[in-house]
Amino acid sequence: MTQIGTDVRVAAEFLQAGNVVGIPTETVYGLAGNAFNPDAVLTIFRVKNRPAFDPLIIHTDSLTKVEQFVTSVPEPAQKLAQLFWPGPLTLLLPKHDHISDLVTSGLPTVAVRIPNHPLTLDLLRSIDFPLAAPSANPFGYISPTTAQHVADQLGDQIPYILDGGPASIGLESTIIGFENRKATVFRLGGMALEQIERIIGPVDVRTHSTSNPNAPGMLSSHYAPRKPLVLLKPGESPQPDKHAGALAFRELFGGISPDNQRVLSPTGDLNEAAKNLFAHLRTLDALPVKVIYAEQLPNQGLGWAINDRLKRASAQD
């Protein structure tokens, strides 16, 4: 069984020995391994049961180090990095040859970011390699936002989880790439589109699913509970059902037991809703219900990313 602790030195020792460990970030918890160690990268794929065609994100602690992993950083990417790193933003950039095709799933680009969590930044400063780190959960399931979530799912397969408390944002990072000098969002996430567009102007949004994704988190069925999840249309309410659970935005639905419901944010705060999303989905998934209904949120701020996660969670394979 895994050990949960707050000792950066212990986590670093496991990583240096080629093991994978759970790490906290402001977005979700990651399953981290030495990005320069092919065996460690393969272990990440094996532990998650992640398909080899789904690329990983590389984490490091400075823009200077990022520039060692890529061949170029376009001017818009430099602006975003300088303003929003550390933070919930991943940049998709042309990779340097020493970045393994295992990490990028054979793609010519690599996803990189600097996470905004003090323990993980300390960890990254203490090692001489970047960390490949997708979310620390079985592939396709709800992402973990606490160390205990990681232990509940992967605890028998990893030796250590660095406990940094609950994730402060609760949604994976926003992924943005640059094709033909045009900024493109490949995954909606913890950085709102409005923040990005204020700095670099309008961006394309290409989050459609594919069996050969250009970036992590683009598959149609993802972030899903074990129970069927039904996404309600805006303004729609579920039919009364004593066997159902519900994920509501601001207030409980009628016709479903209050014990089987969770509210994302009674005040309508989209940041609070994002922070609660995955934890509430996990709670509902553990209840004795047969189906989970979920309410769509306003398409603004982090609401875009929350709705994206709910759509994927409700998708059928």
Flag whether 64 is marked binding: no
Of 171, 191, 206, 225, give the one whose Cα is nearest residue 89: 191
Flag whether 237 is marked binding: no
Enclosing H/E stretch for 89 = strand 89-94
Flag whether 187 is marked binding: yes
Backbone angles phi, psi at 184, to 5 degrees: -135, 130
Alpha-carbon gap, residue 294 to 271, rounded angstroms: 17
Flag whether 25 is marked binding: no
Q: C-alpha distances in angstroms, 241 versus 10, 33, 109, 238, 291? A: 49, 44, 47, 8, 9
Flag whether 98 is marked binding: no
Flag whether 262 is marked binding: no
Residue ranges in the chain assigned as alpha helix (H): 8-16, 38-48, 63-69, 75-84, 101-104, 118-126, 147-154, 193-200, 270-286, 303-314
Alpha-carbon gap, residue 61 to 267, rounded angstroms: 35
| Block residue for tokens 């998709």 | 92
Flag whether 309 is marked binding: no
Flag whether 6 is marked binding: no
Flag whether 113 is marked binding: yes
Flag whether 135 is marked binding: yes
Flag whether 27 is marked binding: yes
Residues 6 or more apart whose Cβ sits within 8 Å of residue 303: 270, 273, 297
The answer to whether the beta carbons of residues 120 and 147 sit under 8 Å apart is no
Binding-site positions for L-threonine read 27, 113, 133, 173
Binding-site residue set: 27, 50, 59, 109, 113, 133, 135, 143, 173, 187, 223
